[in-house]
A and B are shown apart, each in its own frame.
Chain A
Amino acid sequence: MAEPLLAAKGLTRHFQIGGIFSRRNLHAVDEADLTINAREIVALAGESGSGKSTIARLLAMVYQPTAGEILFEGRPLSKMRSRKEVLNYRSQAPMVFQDPFSSLNPVYRVSHGILRSIKLHRPELNHAQRLAEAERVLTQVGLTPAAEVMGRYPYELSGGQRQRVGFAQALACKPKIILADEPVSMLDVSIRIGLLNLMAELREKEGVSFLYITHDLASARYVADRLVVMYAGHIVEQGPVEDVLARPKHPYTELLLATVPDPRAPLSDMAGADRGEPPKVVDPKPGCRFRERCPVAVAECATVTPRLRVLGGGHTAACHVAVADTMFIQPAQPSKDRTA
């Protein structure tokens, strides 16, 4: 297999909280392994507080990891020291933010942000080329006539159009991957699909990969190739999106799946029964972090942190109880007694 475009190994980020005498560590992300290949859309799903935005910021070099390493085209990010190298990486992996109403500066025209990023990241272009490039990316994201849109202010645009400007800004630096942090969750349902289609189109036409962060599994299924589910800083399940959603292994994935409103399906009871919230992971002890909400928890869950196990074709889950698809049961694994 070819080298993945972006790979995270044992990615960990802790935040210090509390005063000098009560210093504690909040574990936002713990030992996450993640790969994104060229021309691939990977969806990262989970509730608020599960650490999915922290992963995006680590990948965008906004935060430095506490431990672990990120490799971009095989090169570790921690080896990038010079400003030039860091700038170059950031132009290859720009972010698109959640809130299109606060992520665009209201006093500048649409052209401002796009031209600035071209000027910074592609200094070889002259003024006329920069303008042409800005028009090209605006057309690419479906904002036409581009020349007219460039002169507008953010308040003259709708939420969906603003988010398209966000994508145009990211596209202007000729990226290999766009880190999109809940790009559609603030938008009306009727225009979300347009943006999801745009992501698929940009992948086709420009060959861009995406990390699509969301809490909506239905939209992840619509646009993504692979799905990664996070809970309280751990990756709990990952695999091909259809496979994970058709045969979820982790009880948390099942819970998320049950909460997706689907008027075409009957109401499921499981979602209503759950009143829990993801825990704040402060100085955690070993054990599964989902066990307090888990309907199938066993004694082992309180003492041993489950590791990701292969349970199907390219499909892994971190759960002691989950059962593998029959053809993938690994004989090497000792079958402990689970009579509890």
Chain B
Amino acid sequence: MPSAPVLDIPYSPTTGPLLAVRDLTVEYATPRGSVGAVDNVSFDVAAGEFLGIVGESGCGKSTLLFAIAQLLSPPAGITAGSVTFKGRNLVGMTDKQLGAVRWREMSVVMQSAMNAFNPVKTIGSQFRDVLRAHDTKDDIAKRSQEVMRLVGIDPVHLGSYPHQLSGGMRQRAMIAMALLFTPDLVIMDEPTSALDVVAQRSLMVQTKELQRELGFAIIFVTHDMSLVSHFSDRLIVMYGGQMAEAGATRKVFDTPAHPYSKGLLEAFPSIRGPRVPLLGIPGSPPDLASPPPGCRFAPRCPSVMPSCTQIEPPLYNVDEVLVRCLLHAEEGALHG
């Protein structure tokens, strides 16, 4: 892994962004050659912000998240770009340096709580492991009980094994574990995908309440756009390893600029609106080993133009929303 240059983005809680991702590129080494899973992604996360990242399976959203947390392992690796967290570039840091940042300042909630907990240890002993590994000064038992209460689980469950909790409780316990050190940034990788709707909604509401209370920033990755509609401040729509659209959540929902965002929004039936036939998005995501020439969404796009298969669209800034689509070449200013 090449050591990226250390960027001088001055950080203080009031000025700079909490997290600045610049030109981040991740490639997987495969027998067929390298596959670019994340291609030149740049964005900021402000302190206390709720950022949603949405896209289909295989669009690179989870890889992006792992790259931010420096959790990639071969054959995947960051080949370019930087991840600047509170003024320090995390790319190229040693494990020891990262150990000081992880959990204390930035924590990750994994997708399936079913597998993320160790099944043969109690919840409490796994909390203890985390607290000891990161040299806590607090009273371990007291802090564990505090975070359990925070997420609305009776602290007696610290003595329970993961299988004794329901899916929703396990996922909440995962969030409690991520909050042990009250970090500034919590990264969540589809934490609700294994839950059913009622548990899903209550987890979202609770996460938002915790955020309001404790003031941490959230990066929330999901394939279900409707899920974050009421909770995130800003939204990034990923397609084929690239940012397709990024902007304020309400704006993206009300006036989606990219045909792919439009498709995602029209892919789920409404519970109250008229009962109309929907099409979803026919076709499947591009093979990232040999992405189609021009726009990566062109083969599935309902409003494709001849130029789409020749020119790779850059990001245009249309009214504070970034969009990678030639439809906006005229009205939008080139971004970056």
Contact = CB atoms under 8 A, between A and B. Distances in A.
B238 to A, nearest CB: 12
A99 B327 CA distance: 38
Nearest to B167: A48
Given A261-B224, A263-B230, A256 B278 contact: no
B137 interface: no
Contacts of B275: 221-222, 242
A283 interface: no
A193 B279 contact: yes
A271 interface: yes
A216 B272 CA distance: 13
A275 interface: yes
A322 interface: no
A270 to B, nearest CB: 10
Interface stretch (A13-21, A120-128, A183-191, A326-334): A183-191
Interface in B247-285: 253, 263-265, 267-273, 275, 277-282, 284
A243 to B, nearest CB: 13
Contacts of B199: 47, 277
A161 B284 CA distance: 10
Interface in A249-285: 255-265, 267, 271-272, 274-275, 277
A112 B327 CA distance: 46
B223 interface: yes
A316 to B, nearest CB: 21
- Binding site of B, secondary structure by majority: helix, strand, loop or mixed? loop
Contacts of A274: 198, 202
A262 B271 contact: yes
B234 to A, nearest CB: 15
A323 interface: no
Contacts of A256: 197-198
Contacts of B200: 259
A196 B196 CA distance: 19
Contact of B202 (A219, A260, A271): A271
B3 interface: no
B152 interface: yes
Given A216-B197, A256-B197, A190 B269 contact: no
B227 interface: yes
B168 A263 contact: no
Contact of A190 (B166, B230, B264, B272): B264
Interface string A89-100: 000000000000
Contacts of B270: 218, 262, 264
B224 A265 contact: no
Contact of B272 (A47, A197, A265, A267): A265
A245 interface: yes
A193 to B, nearest CB: 4
A261 B192 CA distance: 13
A332 to B, nearest CB: 35
A194 B57 contact: no
Interface string A65-89: 0000000000000000000000000
Interface of B: 56-57, 152, 166-169, 196-202, 205-206, 223-227, 229-230, 253, 263-265, 267-273, 275, 277-282, 284
7 A-B pairs with the lowest CB-CB distances in the bound complex, closest first = A263-B229, A272-B205, A193-B280, A222-B269, A261-B226, A259-B201, A215-B196
23 contacts: A47-B197, A48-B167, A189-B223, A189-B267, A190-B223, A190-B263, A197-B278, A215-B197, A218-B268, A218-B269, A219-B269, A258-B201, A259-B198, A260-B271, A261-B224, A261-B229, A261-B230, A263-B225, A265-B271, A272-B202, A272-B206, A275-B152, A275-B206
Given A275-B202, A277-B166, 12 more contacts: A188-B57, A189-B225, A190-B223, A221-B271, A222-B269, A260-B271, A261-B197, A263-B226, A264-B270, A265-B272, A272-B202, A277-B168
